[in-house]
């Protein structure tokens, strides 16, 4: 995205100028310059019913030679304005710009500021919200119109130009990474196989200089990754274990591991999903998409924190070779697992993935997965569920989630839950103790392979996909947790300096 910063008194060529309108509009910094730009028509527009209701959009022809249209965004009471309201308002503006195919948009930054929201906050939220809001996935349609609008942004402000431009660039980096994660989730499973996901990860590594390790089926067999291999047994597609390393220091000390579930399609195996439940299972790699999106932000912003991404990727199919209920498998850790439910496969691939992350030296682990329907029953579709074994680490993570406004709610993991996971007559663990507390058992199972390593489990089964269009984008993949994972890395880098 090309970004230009001008003072709000300079001439500006744009398809549309975006202006914030509050009930205290006349008190806004630079409001007099906006009035001058429209040669006295502004007061007439306001008197004729221009809405200042929160997130109301009103467009007028600008009737100037330099700007085609002006889009007003209602902000309500300025003192009540929050960053989240502003982000989602810009998301709606992005959808409007997409419909209008606006290539070059100007944003009057100072008309959106408040006592608590600075010009650089607005610049960040504007590019992030607009580019997320204007996202569209056309898939394999012929004559599809792709692209995110606008391609160019002009920021009109009296604030420091360099700081404003830097904040806007970071916002666009975050949004573009979210949009790429959305595209991965939206891709059909016959297109995005485990092999193709590994190829995408290698392309990302080439772009940003990440160190890579890609394990195929043979390498997994040599290392004893029995959990991933069991899930892959019924498939004709090769599995992949993907490792990316972002090295902020030469010795790669104290790395944070971001571990993603990459099930490219989940039939449920012999514990077969019903016909209504199986549709949409191409998105069962939302955790992997979130990790890859976060790595793109990390590659762009280069924080001073070592990070590794570990993604276990395969599909879960039914065939004469597929693993079955009552099977006992041996994981990479050496722990044996009794299979009670072949549809509880995500926790199996994550078990080997977090074990491998520990073998590679991970000092902290965050795993993210579309793991259970139980999290939807417990929390609904708009909340990510979490478990942890480390209070301080989780508090730091929660600060990042609040910053990005991605709602996360922690559930308890008790010793009684662990006992139920360890209940088996034939193995160390069972993979499905019951439907009650399903989200806790799913995440708790992964925790059995983490040990004392500080760990956070994120279940995004409800939040990774939107059933309908929303303020920040269309139906389909949401790219949830991309921004929070990247923000966590930024915060760890700052606190450890």
Mean pLDDT of the region 4-14: 91
Domain 2-174 has CATH 3.40.220.10: yes
Q: Is 284 annotated as a binding residue?
A: yes
User: For residue 267, what are its two tokens?
Assistant: 């039939």
Average model confidence (pLDDT) across the chain: 95
The answer to whether residues 393 and 256 touch, using CB atoms and an 8 Å cutoff, is no
422 flagged as catalytic: no
Rounded Cα distance between 45 and 398, Å, is 43
State yes or no: 345 annotated in a binding site. Answer: yes
For the domain 187-496, what is the CATH code?
A: 3.40.630.10
Q: What is the pLDDT of residues 184-242, one digit of tens each?
A: 999 999 999 999 999 999 999 999 999 999 999 999 999 999 999 999 999 999 999 99
pLDDT per position as a tens digit, 417-434: 999 999 999 999 999 999
Q: Say which of 69, 273, 410, 420 is annotated catalytic.
A: 273
261 annotated as ligand-binding: yes
Write out the H or E segment, with its range, that includes residue 495: helix 482-496
pLDDT in tens, 255-292: 999 999 999 999 999 999 999 999 999 999 999 999 99
Domain ranges (residues) in the chain: 2-174, 187-496
So what's the pLDDT on residue 61? 87
Query: Does the pLDDT value for residue 368 go beyond 70?
Result: yes
Q: Which pLDDT band holds residue 38 (cuts at 50, 70, 90)?
A: confident
User: Is there a common fold for 2-174 and 187-496?
Assistant: no
Predicted pLDDT of residue 116:
94
For residue 198 the two structure tokens come to 């590994």
Q: What is the pLDDT of residue 491?
A: 96
List 347, 364, 383, 483, catalytic entry:
347
User: Who contacts 41 (Cβ-Cβ below 8 Å, separation ≥6)?
Assistant: 63
Q: How high is the pLDDT of residue 26? A: 64
Question: 347 an active-site residue?
Answer: yes
Q: What does pTM read for this prediction?
A: 0.97
């Amino acid at each position: 995205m090309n970004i230009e910063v001008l003072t709000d008194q300079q001439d500006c060529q744009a398809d549309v100028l975006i202006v914030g309108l509050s009930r205290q509009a006349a008190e806004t910094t630079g409001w007099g310059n906006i009035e001058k730009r429209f040669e006295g028509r502004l007061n007439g527009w306001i008197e004729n019913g221009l809405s200042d209701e929160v997130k109301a959009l009103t467009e007028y022809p600008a009737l100037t030679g330099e700007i085609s249209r002006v889009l007003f965004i209602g902000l309500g009471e300025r003192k009540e304005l929050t960053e989240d309201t502003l982000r989602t308002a810009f998301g709606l503006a992005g959808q409007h710009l997409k419909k209008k195919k606006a290539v070059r948009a100007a944003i009057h930054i100072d008309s959106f500021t408040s006592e608590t929201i600075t010009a650089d906050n607005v610049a960040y939220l504007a590019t992030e919200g607009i580019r997320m809001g204007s996202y569209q996935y056309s898939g394999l349609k012929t004559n599809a119109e792709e692209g995110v609008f606008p391609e160019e942004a002009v920021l009109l402000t009296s604030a420091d130009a360099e700081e404003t431009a830097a904040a806007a660039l970071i916002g666009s980096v975050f949004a573009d990474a979210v949009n790429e994660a959305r595209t991965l989730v939206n891709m059909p499973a016959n297109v995005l196989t485990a092999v193709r996901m590994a190829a995408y990860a290698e392309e990302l590594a080439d772009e940003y200089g990440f160190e890579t390790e890609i394990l195929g089926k043979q390498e997994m067999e040599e290392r004893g990754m029995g959990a991933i291999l069991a899930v892959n047994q019924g498939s004709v597609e090769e599995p992949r274990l993907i490792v990316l390393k972002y090295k902020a220091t030469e010795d790669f000390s104290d790395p944070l591991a971001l571990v993603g579930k990459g099930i490219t399609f989940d039939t449920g195996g012999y514990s077969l999903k019903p016909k209504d439940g199986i549709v949409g299972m191409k998105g069962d790699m939302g955790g992997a998409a979130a990790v890859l999106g976060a790595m793109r932000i990390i590659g762009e912003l280069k924080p001073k924190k070592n990070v590794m991404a570990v993604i276990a990727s395969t599909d879960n199919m039914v065939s004469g070779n597929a693993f079955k209920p009552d099977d006992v498998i041996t994981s990479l850790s050496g722990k044996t697992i009794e299979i009670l439910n072949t549809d509880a496969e995500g926790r199996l691939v994550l078990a080997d993935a977090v074990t491998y992350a520990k073998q590679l030296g991970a000092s902290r682990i965050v795993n993210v997965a579309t793991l259970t329907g139980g999290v939807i029953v417990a929390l609904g579709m708009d909340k990510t569920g979490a478990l942890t074994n480390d209070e301080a680490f989780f508090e730091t993570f929660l600060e990042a989630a609040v910053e990005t406004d991605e709602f996360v709610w922690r559930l308890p993991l008790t010793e009684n839950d662990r006992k139920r996971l360890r209940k088996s007559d034939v193995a160390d663990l069972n993979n499905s103790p019951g439907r009650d507390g399903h989200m806790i058992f799913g995440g708790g199972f992964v925790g059995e392979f983490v040990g004392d390593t500080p760990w956070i489990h994120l279940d995004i089964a409800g939040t990774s996909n939107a059933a309908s269009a929303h303020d920040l984008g269309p139906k389909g993949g949401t790219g949830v947790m991309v921004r929070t994972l990247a923000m966590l890395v930024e915060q760890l880098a700052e606190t450890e300096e």
